[in-house]
Structure 1
C-alpha cells in the first residue's frame, strides 16, 4: 500500500466503540448543556460584544451575534448527526477519520487541539486580568511582573497558571464531581447575565441606537463587511457544542442525548449573547465600548458600581467554567490521538476512575505554559480558523455520512439535506476568507508541523497500520 493510499485509509466506528468501552457513560442531557453553555458563555460574552461593537459593527453587533449563533446552530446540527451516528470520543477528529480518511481526521484533530489549547490559555489570561483587577480593589493585587509573561515585560502570568491547575484538580476528582462544579457555575453565571439584561433595560438610552449600523463600518458586498467581520470574529465563542461532541463516549443514550445537548446549548447561548449585546449597546454608546470589561464599564457609566463588581464575579465564574470544559475536551482529544497511535499510546490509557490521566497532564502542561509565558494577542484568530475549518469538513461530511450503508444511523438527522449542509460548508469557506493574512500564515505553519508529525510518527504507529 503506497503512502498516499495509506494516509487516506478509513477507520471503523466499531473499532472506536471497542476502544472507548473503557470510558464511563455517565453524562446526561443536563450535563451536556452545562458543558456546552459553560464553554460558550465564557470570556466571549464579557469581552467580545464591546470590542466588536466599537471596531466593526456598532449596535448592529447584536445582528452579528445572532448570525454567528444561527450559523453555529446549523453547524451544531451536523455535529449532532455525527455524534448520534458515531458516539465515540474525539469529535471532528474521529468523524473525519471515518468519513474522509485518517489524514483528514488528523488535520481536523490537529486544528482542534490548537483551538482548545489556545482557547484555554486565552481565557485563563482573561481570567487573570479580571481577578487581579478585583484583587486591586481590596488591596491584594499582584505586581505586573506576575501577571504577564516575558514577551509582555513580566516573568509569568501566575494567576492564569493557577486557575488552570485548580480546574485540573477538580477534573482529577472524577467526572461526577467536575460536572457538579460545572453545572453549578453555569446556573450562577446565567443568573448574573439575566440580572444584567433585565436591570439594564431600565437604563437604555434610545439615542444610542440611532446610528445602529454606522457608515464607517460599511464595506464589502452590500456594505455588510463590518457585520460579517464581527460575525467571523465571534464564531469561536460558539465552540461549546464541539466540546460536547468530544465527550460522546461518556454520554448516556448518545443517539438522543447528544443532539439535545448540542441544540440546547446553541439556543440558550444565542439568546443570552444577543440580549446581552442589545442591552450593552443601549446603555453606553458603542464608541466607548472598546475595553476588556465592557459590562462592568457600562455599569460604572450609569453609577451602578456595586453591581459592576457582581458582573466581574460573573465574568470570573463564566471564564472558569469555560476553562474547565475546554481542558476536559482537549484531554479527550489527546486521549483519542493516543488511542489510535497517532501520538504515544500512553495518552490513550485511562485510570481506575475512567479518566485519561496522561492526556489530561499533557493538555494542562501545554495550556499552562502558553497561559503563563506566551502573549496570545497575535494568535487569537487561530482559534477561529481552526473552528471554521472543522465546521467546513463536518457540514460537508454529512453528505458522505448519509451514503454510508455500514453505519447504523437512526438518531438525529440534519434537516433540508443535501442543500443545507452544502450551503453551510460554503458559508464556512466565506467566513474563513474574512480572516487576516497573518492568520492564514500562522495556521499554515501549524498544519505543516502537523503533517510532518503525521508522516514521521503517526502513520508508522497508527492503529490502522496494524490492520494493513
Structure 2
C-alpha cells in the first residue's frame, strides 16, 4: 500500500549530495560574500514592479511600513531556511526539505506550489519588463499601440502632455485604473474626450518570455561576471533613485496623510491596507533563500549564515523603505498602479538622462530575473520526476542541446500566455501566496526535525528555534490571510489539480512509497542511499 508520509532520511540526502559533488563543496564564502549574494538576489522585480501596486491600491505612502513587515516575516523564515539548507544540502529547495521532515504528501504539495510560484513569478516580472520597455520606447519617440501593451480588457487612455505635466503623470498611454480616475476627478479634469482604447494582449511581455525560453532550450551558459555587473547596476539604480529623488520629495504628494484612511473595505488603505500591502510587496524579498542554499560553501556557517541572511534583509529593507518614501514623495501614490512605478516617479522628476539610465538598468535586471525563474522551473520537475511523482518524460533531455526542453517549452508557453493576458496585481499576489506557503512549511519543518531527530548534525542552528520557527509559520500565514479571496481561490484550484495528479499518478509511482509497507512517518532505507 502506498505511503503518503514516507520520508527521506537526512543521512541519505547528505550521501546523495556528496555523490552529486564528487569532491564536496569548497568552503570559500565569508559573511560579506553572503550579504552581497543576498542583496543581489533580493533586489529585483519586487521594488521595480510591485511597490507601485501596493502603494496605489492598498497602503499609500505607508507602503514603507509594508516593507518593514515583509522584512520581519522574511527574517524568521530565513533563519529556518539557513538551518534546513545546512542540514539537507541538496537541490529541490522547500520540496526536498518537506520530504525529509514531513513526508511525501506534504513534499508534493510544496513541489506543486513551487511550480506555481516560479511560473507566476516569471509572469509578473515579464509584465513589469514590458512596462519599462514601453516607457523607454516612448521616450525615444516609438509608441507601441495601447491595444498590444497591456492585459486583456484593460481600459487605456492617452493623457495630453499638458495634463500629464500638471499632475506629474506619465506621458502617452496609461491604464485607466480607479486611482487614475480618482486623481483626474479631484482636479476636475474631464477625460471623456481623451483618446481611449481597450487592451487586447501584452505583446512585449510575451516576447521576452519567448526569447528567454528559446535561449534556455538551446542552452545558455550564465556568466558570473555579467551577473555581477547586473547586480551592481540594480543596486546603483536604487541608490541613485533614493539620493536624487530626495531633492524632489514633497509630502504634498501624500495627500496630507502618511496612512490614508481606510475606505471601509479590508485591505483598502488604513492599517489593514498596510498588512495587505506587505503581502503584495513580499515578492520583493523573494531570493533571500539563495543565501541559505550556500550553507555548505560558507567558511563558518554557524556564524556567517545568520549574518548573510539577516544582513542582506536589513540592507534591502532599508533601501526598500527609503525607496518607497521617495517614490510616493515625488509623485502621487494614486498614479503608481502600473508595471513600471519607478519610471513614473522618475518621469515626474523631469530628469530625462536619469530616466534612460534607470529604465535600461531595470530592463536588464528584470531580464535576468525572468531567465533565472524560467531556468529554475525544470529543477523542481527534475526533483519530482526523479522521485517518481511525475513521469520521467517531463524532464527528458534534448539529445543535441542537453537541456530539459519539454518542461522548458511547456513552462514558457504557459508563462507567455499568462504574461500576455493577466493583470500585474494578480501575478504578484499569486507569487506571494505561493512563496509564503513554502516559507510556512519550511519553518514548521525545522521545528519538526528538531523534535523528532534532535541528534542530526546541523552546521547552522536557528537561534531560539521554539520561538523563531513558530513565528516563521505565524507571520507567513498572517500575510497570506491578508491577500484577497480571489487569490486564495486560485491557489486552492491549483492545489486541487495537483492533488488529482498525485493520487492518480504520483502516489502509485513513488520510488520511496512503494518500497515498504506504510508506516506513519517512517523512514524508508535502501542500499541505494534513499530512505
- TM-score range relative to shorter protein: 0.7 to 0.9
Pair 1:175–1:10, CA change in 2 (3 A): farther
Of the two, which has the highest radius of gyration?
2
| 2-structure distance, mates of 1:355, 1:118 | 22
Equivalent in the alignment of 2:457: 409
Aligned to 1:112: 114
Q: Deviations over 1:313-339 (max 9, x none)?
A: 222123112212222332221221122
- Tell me the alpha carbon deviations over residues 104-149 of structure 1, each in whole angstroms, 9 at most, x when there is no partner: 0110111111011011012112212321332233344444565467
**More displaced 10-residue stretch of structure 1: 54-63 or 364-373:** 364-373
Give the unaligned 5+ runs of structure 2: 155-197, 517-531
Alpha-carbon separation, structure 2, partners of 1:158 and 1:54: 25
Q: Which residue of 2 aligns with 1:336?
A: 383
Identify, as 1 or 2, the structure richer in helix: 1
Paired residues of 2:123 and 2:427 also in contact (CA < 8 A) = no
What CA distance in whole angstroms lies between the structure 1 residues aligned with 2:455 and 2:403?
A: 28
- The CA distance in 2 between the partners of 1:173 and 1:412, in whole Å, is 39
1:300-319 aligned at under 5 Å gives the runs 300-319=347-366
Aligned pair 1:11/2:8, yes or no? yes
CA-to-aligned-CA distance 1:360-388 (integer Å, 9 cap, x gap):
45443433343346666545422222122
Aligned equivalent of 2:87: 85
CA contact (8 A) 1:35 1:325 kept: no
Distance 1:375 1:206 in 2: 30
Taking the aligned partners of 2:36 and 2:408, their CA distance within structure 1 comes to 20
CA distance in 2, matches of 1:348, 1:406: 36
Give distance in 2, aligned partners of 1:140 and 1:58.
32
**Do the aligned partners of 2:5 and 2:102 also contact (CA within 8 Å) in 1?**
yes
Q: Note the 1:443-462 alignment, pairs <5 A.
A: 443-462=491-510
1:208-219 map, 5 Å: 208=253, 211-216=257-262
Which residue of the other structure, out of 151, 156, 159, is the alignment partner of 2:204? Answer: 159
Q: Shift of the alpha carbon at 1:176?
A: 6.1
1:301-450 correspondence to structure 2 within 5 Å: 301-347=348-394, 359-372=407-420, 378-405=426-453, 408-450=456-498
Decide which moves more: 195-204 or 328-337: 328-337
* Alpha carbons of structure 1 residues 377 and 51: separation in structure 2 relative to 1, 3 Å: closer
Please show how residues 213-292 of structure 1 align to structure 2 within 5 Å.
213-216=259-262, 224-242=271-289, 252=297, 256=301, 262-292=309-339
- Secondary structure at the aligned position of 2:262 is classed as helix
Name which of structure 1's ranges 312-321 and 360-369 shifts more when overlaid on structure 2: 360-369
TM-score by length of 1: 0.85
Question: In 2, distance between residues paired with 1:298 and 1:78?
Answer: 37
Q: Distance in 2 between matches of 1:335 and 1:38?
A: 26
Query: Would you say the 8 A contact 2:45–2:366 is kept in 1?
Result: yes
Asked if the contact 1:335/1:349 (under 8 Å) is kept, the reply is no
Aligned residues: 463
**1:96 and 1:108 in contact (8 A); partners too:** yes
What is the distance in 2 between the residues matched to 1:12 and 1:71? 29
Aligned position for 2:172: none
SS at match of 1:397: helix
1:173/1:260 CA distance change after superposition, 3 Å:
farther
CA distance in 1, matches of 2:21, 2:410: 19
Query: Counterpart of 1:296?
Result: 343
Q: How far did 1:435 drift?
A: 1.7
| 209, 232, 242: which one aligns with 1:187 | 232
